[in-house]
Amino acid sequence: MKSNRTSDGTERAGESGRTAVISGQDDKRGALRAMKTAFPKTIPVMTGYIFLGITYGMLMATSGFPGWLPALTALIIYTGSMEFLMVSILLSSFNPLSAFATAVMVGARHLFYGISMLGKYRNMGWKKFYLIYTTSDETFSVNYSADIPDYVDRSWFYFWVSLLDQMYWVAGSAAGGFFGSLITINLDGLDFVMTAMFAVIFLQQWMQDGTKLRSLFRDHICELTGIAGSVLCLVIFGPDHFMIPSMIVILAVLLIFRKPMEKAGYTLEHDTSASDHSENAEISGEGLSNNGNGGDDI
């Protein structure tokens, strides 16, 4: 059935009542189709979030907080690491300024995610606010790396990944908060599924950027920069404090070596004055590629 949507996802002014009805049906079908595509990609996140959420809920409950509090904080804060810190913050003396500063520091990585998603989240209509609000490490990973088929509405795909991930986290936290005392299974290690997910995404990138040994450095300069920067900061700052320094080091290296990297084949392909569609593609990262390998989106 022919869609009645414009390229930016907004509804065209109705030509007739029938067209509007068909359009509404198309939109529902599009949303359903996007959910079917999105759900399988969130399964690793589901496993990790539910069990990690239960751990968080149990921690809150055993610290003396009401059972509903983990669910509420999971819904409105929705930053796992910050929520675990909330337990000690709420148990200490009242200091909103310190709590705010902690939230900004812990959430600093979202600035980098935001920069990466600027193009992809353009023209998302009413969904955009929610997509930005629910950006998490895992949702970002899935949404950025997803290979969305042409017949699937991108905005609905992003929406479902974001919604499902948030629901997993809230459900796990609520279960831990309300029923944590009844759970006697040892959940240690189950959150490793998310580490596995990041490792798989990394391997996909690695394979896509090239597998030849002789061009190892040229093809994988970005990945190698990431590994070197992370290891260096891990050694210097230790496992609890290396995240932000690593991000700064990696970004600094990328800026300093921008020209040599572009000479090596990593360039911006399109001009910014391109047409609407290609501009979106370029901004979303699709127009940027390693010339030696063609398109590089996963």
Partner 1 sequence: MSIIQMFITIAVVVLGTVLTRFLPYMVFTEGREIPMTVKYLGKFWRLLYSVFWSFIA
Residue 102 in contact with partner 1, rule: CB under 8 A = yes
- In the list 190, 234, 244, 264, the residue contacting partner 1 (rule: CB under 8 A) is 234
Residue 244 in contact with partner 1, rule: CB under 8 A = no
CA distance 92 to 99: 11
Q: In the beta sheet, which residues pair with residue 106?
A: none
Residue 55 in contact with partner 1, rule: CB under 8 A = no
Q: Which is nearer to partner 1, 21 or 105 (CB)?
A: 105
SS3 content of the chain, % helix, strand, coil (to 5): 65, 5, 30
Residue 263 in contact with partner 1, rule: CB under 8 A = no
Q: How far is the CB of 124 from partner 1 (least distance, A)?
A: 10
CA distance 102 to 203: 33
Let me know: does 220 contact 206? Beta carbons within 8 Å.
yes
Site map 107..146 versus partner 1, x via CB under 8 A: xxxxxxxxxxxxx-xxx----x---xx-x-x--xx--xx-
CA distance 273 to 278: 9
Q: How many CB atoms lie within 10 A of CB 261?
A: 18
Residue 43 in contact with partner 1, rule: CB under 8 A = no
**Contacting range for partner 1; rule: CB under 8 A; set: 9-17, 161-169, 171-179, 266-274:** 266-274
Q: How far is the CB of 35 from partner 1 (least distance, A)?
A: 23
Q: How far is the CB of 182 from partner 1 (least distance, A)?
A: 25
Residue 293 in contact with partner 1, rule: CB under 8 A = no
Q: What is the largest CA-CA distance in the chain?
A: 66
Q: Which is nearer to partner 1, 148 or 250 (CB)?
A: 250
Q: Which is nearer to partner 1, 3 or 205 (CB)?
A: 205
Residue 101 in contact with partner 1, rule: CB under 8 A = yes
* Total number of residues that touch partner 1 (CB under 8 A): 81
AA identity, residue 138: E
- In the list 68, 130, 178, 202, the residue contacting partner 1 (rule: CB under 8 A) is 202
Residue 241 in contact with partner 1, rule: CB under 8 A = no
Residue 292 in contact with partner 1, rule: CB under 8 A = no
Site map 150..189 versus partner 1, x via CB under 8 A: ----------------------------------------
- In the list 28, 251, 263, 291, the residue contacting partner 1 (rule: CB under 8 A) is 251
CA distance 225 to 63: 41
CA distance 70 to 177: 6
CA distance 43 to 164: 9
Q: Is 195 exposed, middle or buried (0-12, 13-18, 19+ CB in 10 A)?
A: exposed
- In the list 167, 222, 244, 274, the residue contacting partner 1 (rule: CB under 8 A) is 222
CA distance 226 to 249: 9
Residue 276 in contact with partner 1, rule: CB under 8 A = no
Burial string for 118-150 (b: 16+ CB within 10 Å, else e) reads: ebbbebbeebeeebeebbbebbbbbbbebebee
AA identity, residue 54: I
Residue 227 in contact with partner 1, rule: CB under 8 A = yes
| φ, ψ (nearest 5 deg) of residue 294 | 75, -150
- In the list 258, 263, 276, 277, the residue contacting partner 1 (rule: CB under 8 A) is 258
